[in-house]
Structure 1
Amino acid sequence: MRKKFSASLVALSFVLTSSITAVAQDANYSNKNALPEIGVVASDAISLDKEMIVGDAVMRQMRGQSPVISDPVLDEYLQDVGNRLVVHADNAKFPFEFFWVNNDAINAFAFFGGHIGVHTGLMRRAENESELASVLAHEISHVTQRHIARRMQAQQRSSPLALASLIGGVLIAMANPEAGIAAMQAGSAASAQLQIDYTRSNEQEADRIGIAMLARAGFDPNAAASFFSTMAEEYRMVSRPPARLLTHPLTESRIADARNRAGDYPRRYLPINKQFELAKARIKARYSFEPDYAVEYYEAAVEQNVQRSKEASLYGLALAYMRDDKTEKAKKIMDELIAGDSSNLFYLDAMTDIHISLGEPLKAVNLLKPHVTHNPRNQVLALNQANAYISAQNYDEAISLLKDFLLVNKDYQIAHQLMSEAYQKSKRFSQMHQSKAEVYALYGAYNRAVDELQYAYNFAGDDHLIKQRIRARIKQFRDQEERLERL
């Protein structure tokens, strides 16, 4: 779906980053411009309302151009870990959104409006959930302390949206280097990336606040130092460090300081976290490894029991078999796993895909039904059940479930895609085009969204109420574009 409008978004990214060279000339600051330590004072640089608007615009751009993963199971897991930290954060002014980027680099990044991206490569290298949480806590601290806004405040000659647009282009380069190179040529990419490098004081502040948050949330406060050490050791001999180390410089003194700060809190020896191991296995089997290698890797892991969690190894092997079109082998494994943990969302998701693949969608419906009844707005349960209903040609049930889900998850891409599919297969073309419009809007492609709504209008016939709603939505999309221009 991205490919249909990726060219226009590359052009947009190029426009947004056109001010890179001018801004880069001001990258070095003297001591007189040292930033204050209280994050909320940056409100005169950009208000919280505008920060939300700009963050939403950047997120839409990233969905369209970078390899953002739409995976309900992984999204649910990452959001859960993030939320467990956010409830212990100070100055959390808005809901946080955590998302995955399919990139093997060790990296994570934060930007306006509480958006935090995590590369799959970082998850692959993390040894335990506390190490993952230590990175999230650090990025949450950058947001709550408003470090980007404070940088803008110091950079008086740049308007808020000019720098925010610049950051948007650089974030895309970080998430997808190929797209970034296409959008930022002539040697400006390297200097542009420096624009979101945080000052040493910002990094120290984020480390300090993040480790305290980590401890309050019940994670091991020593995890930050241990993950720092892992990164430093892995890249000690390479000529070019990963993006994470370029944007978050890692020195021996910083590692030592993290260890010292962790010493202020009691050490926690936590057991192996099953959900973390399953999420890590899913990333390897579905996103990091090629299908053939994934099968070999997890067959060896199961045979040799090299993974810390046998269940995670079996789960990874089942996913690898599914990618390699060995569905019956996958089903045999998943039958065993789900018998021992019938409410596990990772397992329910895999079993749904297996039943649909085998042409048995009603088995998936019945498997999920009691769980959906208990928790109807859980994204894993609701979206899998909707997918199963569509496969069973029960479009009304799918649409009803998705409408309810979208009431509280209005920006969830897969839900709109499933809704569009259900409407298309049930030959409700006006509603189908309306759902497609919502998908395009999530990518920031408002012109394409308006086109879809105009198609929807033509299919609406004599239904004046639907036509009125479509006209209102067209106006909303155009107003959103104009609002960004006015900023």
Structure 2
Amino acid sequence: MLPLMRTPLIILLSSLICFNVQGSENLPSLAGSTNSSYQLEQERALGQAWMRMMKAQAQLLDDPIVESYLKDRLWYLSPFSELQDKRLDLLVIDQQEVNAFAAPGGIIGINAGLLLATETEDQLMSVIAHEFAHLSQRHFAQQQAASEQRQPLVLAGIVGSILLSSINPNAGAAALQGTIGASENARLSFSRQNELDADQAGMRTLVAAGYDPQAMPQMFAQLAQANRFSGSAVPEFLRTHPVTESRIADSTNRAMNLPSASTENRVHQNFMIAKSRVAVKYGAENQLLNNSELDESAKHFTHYLKALSVNNNEEAQNHWEALSKSWQQHPWVQLSRLTQLSLSGQATGQLMDELTDLYPNDLAVQAALAKTYREQGNVSQAISLYRKLLRDHPNNTLFLYHLAELYGLINDIEQLHRTRIEFFFQRAEFDLALRQVEFARRDARNNRIQLGWLEQREREIRSDQLRFDELFK
């Protein structure tokens, strides 16, 4: 197995958030003109750095269909938003807890559990639009500028606490207390005015994109209602985005004055497919199936996925036959059919060839096919597909992990080392990447091409490591 040693993010955070004023002078300052392209690039660099470290700490969801769906929704919504910089990166966290966050530089994080909490795609998009608004309104920069008048609070501490909270809420809260202890009113959650601004900007984005503005107050009301029965287990989203009765009323009144979107002709399949997959993964399918308004095909698909998860092929087949043709022919549903055929020992080659030919650039389809090849022991085909996927998604650490494992299976030591180096590098685990370079050198012997590549890669890794050290000095 690929080693998963890592530098704990909480240790790094404790060193970041305890810096004095002199130490913070070398950090990116965002207190000046919050509209400058220079500071946008500073935020981008900081966000990208945190995202890489986040990949080493958080459990990312290994479901290309859910990831593909959420990415598609981000890309769809982005042109309608007020974002100045529309470069976006998505992290899908493998946690059932309801949470979503934004970090400077276009980083959007979504817990898989958010899909369970939303009843409609409009509600899901209202949360994403709200997070976009925090970015477009430059609330992180404003928070940093205001904090400099109270204490030496650096943006790295704010971002670090947000990202750490998405991994471990208690650790995030502890790190946050260290960051903001000198100020009674400063906290991880945005100010009331920031939240109102994000509600308003997010609602404008929703309407422009053709979604129902009522979805936002509906979502707030659902979260507030769920919180009443949660005891001390307050959802992380509510810790960072507190929902009050006045805020719900304000968003409700605002939505009433905006045009409502028609949902009659809207296709909800993709949303329901992703939601069903998450529900079955976390054993929460009854929560979904108890919804009396759930489409019959969506119910059968959820039952179908559940039957597959417990290897009940007969029940799975019954629910497959009950699906409408439009569902049976959907490529993401066909991928589940592929799983059923594989589990029952039936031939999968024809369906795999059809999906490969029909959807050559679909992330979900191609990644699912690579996984199927891997599980069937077809290593060469799996390697070929993962290499293709990495050409389009070079920073995907899950693809790198699986590819490294496959190279190990065929004893391709040169490519195994190269892929492991990239895996650790993309997670900002520089010491582990450099250690892997040394392992590779021992095995390279007189391979001049490999030794030359290793020398160049080592220089690049050390250079990036220095850049990180400067960024968080």
TM-score range, shorter chain: 0.7 to 0.9
**How big is the shift at 1:375?**
3.2
Cα pair distance change 1:355/1:455, threshold 3 Å = farther
**How big is the shift at 1:331?**
5.2
Q: How many residues align?
A: 460
Cα pair distance change 1:427/1:366, threshold 3 Å = farther
- CA distance in 2 between counterparts of 1:124 and 1:269 reads 23
Do structure 1's residue 269 and structure 2's residue 262 form an aligned pair? yes
- CA distance in 1 between counterparts of 2:168 and 2:384 reads 36
- CA distance in 1 between counterparts of 2:283 and 2:187 reads 29
Do structure 1's residue 465 and structure 2's residue 449 form an aligned pair? yes
Amino acid at match of 2:335: D
**Alignment equivalent of 1:68, drawn from 60, 63, 85:** 60
Q: Deviation string for 1:82-102 (max 9, x for gaps)?
A: 211101112331421233223
Contact 2:90 2:109 in 1 (8 A): yes
Amino acid at match of 2:256: G
Cα pair distance change 1:282/1:215, threshold 3 Å = same
- Normalising by structure 2, what TM-score? 0.85
**How big is the shift at 1:392?**
4.8
Higher share of residues assigned helix: 1
- CA distance in 2 between counterparts of 1:311 and 1:41 reads 52
Contact 2:82 2:201 in 1 (8 A): no
Q: Deviation string for 1:403-455 (max 9, x for gaps)?
A: 22212211112221232133122221110122122222333212112222332
Q: Deviation string for 1:271-304 (max 9, x for gaps)?
A: 4712212222111110354xxxx5xx39x94xx8
**Alignment equivalent of 1:109, drawn from 101, 121, 125:** 101
In the alignment, what sits opposite 1:27?
A: none
- CA distance in 2 between counterparts of 1:225 and 1:156 reads 34
- CA distance in 2 between counterparts of 1:313 and 1:454 reads 53
- Secondary structure of the corresponding residue to residue 105 of structure 1: coil
- CA distance in 2 between counterparts of 1:429 and 1:338 reads 48
- Secondary structure of the corresponding residue to residue 385 of structure 1: helix
- Normalising by structure 1, what TM-score? 0.82
- CA distance in 2 between counterparts of 1:242 and 1:480 reads 36
Amino acid at match of 1:367: L
**How big is the shift at 1:184?**
4.0
Cα pair distance change 1:333/1:179, threshold 3 Å = farther
Contact 1:68 1:101 in 2 (8 A): yes
Paired residues for 1:84-483 under 5 Å: 84-156=76-148, 162-177=154-169, 180=172, 184=175, 188=178, 195-236=187-228, 240=232, 241-271=234-264, 273-289=268-284, 297=286, 301=289, 306=292, 308-327=294-313, 329-330=315-316, 333-334=319-320, 337=323, 340-358=326-344, 363-483=347-467
Q: Deviation string for 1:299-335 (max 9, x for gaps)?
A: x94xx88461222222222332333343554355446
Cα pair distance change 1:430/1:355, threshold 3 Å = farther
In the alignment, what sits opposite 2:4?
A: 4
- CA distance in 2 between counterparts of 1:160 and 1:347 reads 52
Contact 2:379 2:406 in 1 (8 A): yes
**How big is the shift at 1:223?**
0.7
Q: Deviation string for 1:20-63 (max 9, x for gaps)?
A: 9x99xxxxxxxxxxx99xxx941579722222221122112222
In the alignment, what sits opposite 1:31?
A: none
Q: Where in structure 1 are there 5+ consecutive unaligned residues?
A: 24-34
Cα pair distance change 1:64/1:246, threshold 3 Å = same
- Secondary structure of the corresponding residue to residue 282 of structure 2: helix
Q: Where in structure 2 are there 5+ consecutive unaligned residues?
A: 24-29
Cα pair distance change 1:441/1:308, threshold 3 Å = same
Question: Which one scores higher on RCO, CA 8 angstroms, separation ≥ 6?
Answer: 2
